[in-house]
Structure 1
């Protein structure tokens, strides 16, 4: 038997004499006042919100504003730069240095990400065996990550020096001639890639090692009882269960590698002949590396890096959402 809901009876109420009386007026719902817990939550959120607004939202707004106006040194101080729209982006796209810088950025990012993740994963699996001195060796591997970048880049510049570097000295002992690591266009990009891989491996090691610690040992024991060897256990147990951690590691590594500036600038300054110029160094050189700075095009190149990082972040969120729904 189907039950249907009847609308409320809005007919006037009549008294004993037959006179109609108006229905009682509805009282407006009272607004709930914030409780002490809600005020405490807002108090904890306020510093984070202020920090994000001052150090992320406002600089991003200023960078977008710079890319849409024709700023000079005078107009930058006075704040009366004319609005030019997308002319700065057109200038960047038509610049002969755009294509080499784009190619170097892609190669630098892809190669660094691959080797940082591969070496970091191999070291994480190695240290997950819990042998003697594993904690000490893990601490030593963190040294490149803890050093200031200017120290690491200066050390690699000295090691790869064509005349007095220890790398060429080691190559000389095995009968290989000196290599112009930092002054030859064919080797400069390789040199900064090697230095950045060395700096980024410890981060991958720490994150992936923490992910390995969360995998239950019983899964490995069950796989061993089924006759799986070490490679099969890694392929069927370790790598699939490590995918969420791997995704976060690659995303953070991608964002970091896209904006790498100090290592390249200290070692090669983007040269020689722009052979190691990426979007990060090109943006700096346009905005601050000339006597007549081009603030607009420099900001436009920086915004391209922001858009690239944002696109990959959205792709990561979409993939994570699909995996959660499935």
Structure 2
């Protein structure tokens, strides 16, 4: 009889084990399976609704989108089923369209310009409020969150009115300086207009995330750099930016994913026409027969959506690789 077995027998009979006997907690006879702790079931119960939500509203639509991109759907087969499998033929058809590469270029310009301007203005405001010591700094910082809190339909309609060529406030302001009215929402300049509106919408997000990152940088580092003779500009580049790099990466990644799928503000302002058409608005127009596409093309819309998904996944893997390299 082993020591543990003898000790259990003594405890069962109501006797105390001899002094010096070591009792090993959690020991179990061979072949007996331990039951999960109660906290494990509680954790699974809390996680189950989230997992079900992700599978139902994220994983399933993504898989269905990829499946639709490999079948030739029309109105009849979309409702009744039976769409023929064509593999990657529709991908080739979409890529060979004359509109494809101009739309890709416009999407790249819209995404890169929006991310760069949002980050620059958001970082500048975050540094300003981080170093500001006046009493109204917190209230003023809260006001910058208004664009983020407003419904997008309100923001898009407001910018559409501001950039109206006839009676918009922007042209009225430029007219004071003798500048002729600018047709902001025309087909040639609509890309600049939607970039301005999207930057205005994205600055609060960058401000909040970057401001939180600045608060986690120890003040002792700035004091040490100041004692070493570093100027404010040198402190920014040698202390702030290196330590803010992890926050910068996640901010740019989230901003990229959001910007790639922007449809609402563009559609409200220009209906995705002219230079403001991106892959996201093109996919929306193909799926619902709106904008420049008067015919519903479910399969082509799924192809464009899958391309956007792949681009987001590529940058997501790049972010993970950079994070692992930093940890190593």
Q: What is the TM-score when the length of structure 1 is the normalising length?
A: 0.89
Partner of residue 305 from structure 2, selected from 302, 307, 313 = 302
- CA root-mean-square deviation: 1.2
Q: Distance in 1 between matches of 2:36 and 2:242?
A: 45
Partner of residue 312 from structure 1, selected from 285, 300, 315 = 315
Unpaired segments ≥5 residues, structure 2? 1-28
Question: What SS does the corresponding residue of 2:275 show, helix, strand or coil?
Answer: coil
Q: Distance in 2 between matches of 1:96 and 1:84?
A: 22
CA contact (8 A) 2:163 2:184 kept: yes
TM superposition shift of 1:32: 2.0
Q: Distance in 2 between matches of 1:137 and 1:115?
A: 21
Partner of residue 171 from structure 1, selected from 169, 174, 187 = 174
Question: What SS does the corresponding residue of 1:128 show, helix, strand or coil?
Answer: helix
Q: 1:284 and 2:287 equivalent? A: no
Deviations 1:161-212 (A, max 9, x none): 0001000001110011000000141x11000000000100000000000000
Q: Give the alignment of 1:119-130 within 5 angstroms.
A: 119-129=121-131, 130=133
Question: What SS does the corresponding residue of 1:293 show, helix, strand or coil?
Answer: coil
Q: Give the alignment of 1:128-277 within 5 angstroms.
A: 128-129=130-131, 130-185=133-188, 187-271=189-273, 274-277=274-277
Question: What SS does the corresponding residue of 1:275 show, helix, strand or coil?
Answer: helix
Q: What is the TM-score when the length of structure 2 is the normalising length?
A: 0.88
Partner of residue 89 from structure 1, selected from 84, 91, 97 = 91
Question: What SS does the corresponding residue of 2:179 show, helix, strand or coil?
Answer: coil
CA contact (8 A) 2:187 2:276 kept: no
Question: What SS does the corresponding residue of 1:194 show, helix, strand or coil?
Answer: helix
Q: Distance in 2 between matches of 1:101 and 1:47?
A: 39
Q: Which runs of 4 or more aligned residues in structure 1 lie more than 3 Å from their structure 2 counterparts after TM superposition?
A: none
Q: Distance in 2 between matches of 1:287 and 1:237?
A: 49
Q: Distance in 2 between matches of 1:52 and 1:244?
A: 26
Q: Which residue pairs with 2:13 in the alignment?
A: none
Q: Which residue pairs with 1:64 in the alignment?
A: 66
Deviations 1:229-272 (A, max 9, x none): 1101111111111001011100000000000111111111122x
Q: Distance in 1 between matches of 2:248 and 2:295?
A: 44
Question: What SS does the corresponding residue of 2:276 show, helix, strand or coil?
Answer: coil
Q: Which residue pairs with 2:17 in the alignment?
A: none
Paired residues, what number?
296
CA contact (8 A) 2:144 2:204 kept: yes
Deviations 1:288-310 (A, max 9, x none): 12553100000100010000001
Deviations 1:35-58 (A, max 9, x none): 212211211221111011101111
Q: Distance in 1 between matches of 2:279 and 2:294?
A: 20
Q: Distance in 2 between matches of 1:133 and 1:205?
A: 17
Partner of residue 34 from structure 1, selected from 23, 32, 36 = 36
Q: Distance in 2 between matches of 1:92 and 1:218?
A: 56
Question: What SS does the corresponding residue of 2:306 show, helix, strand or coil?
Answer: helix
Q: Distance in 2 between matches of 1:173 and 1:194?
A: 21
TM superposition shift of 1:87: 1.5
Q: Which residue pairs with 1:114 in the alignment?
A: 116
Q: Which residue pairs with 2:21 in the alignment?
A: none
TM superposition shift of 1:132: 2.1
TM superposition shift of 1:222: 1.1
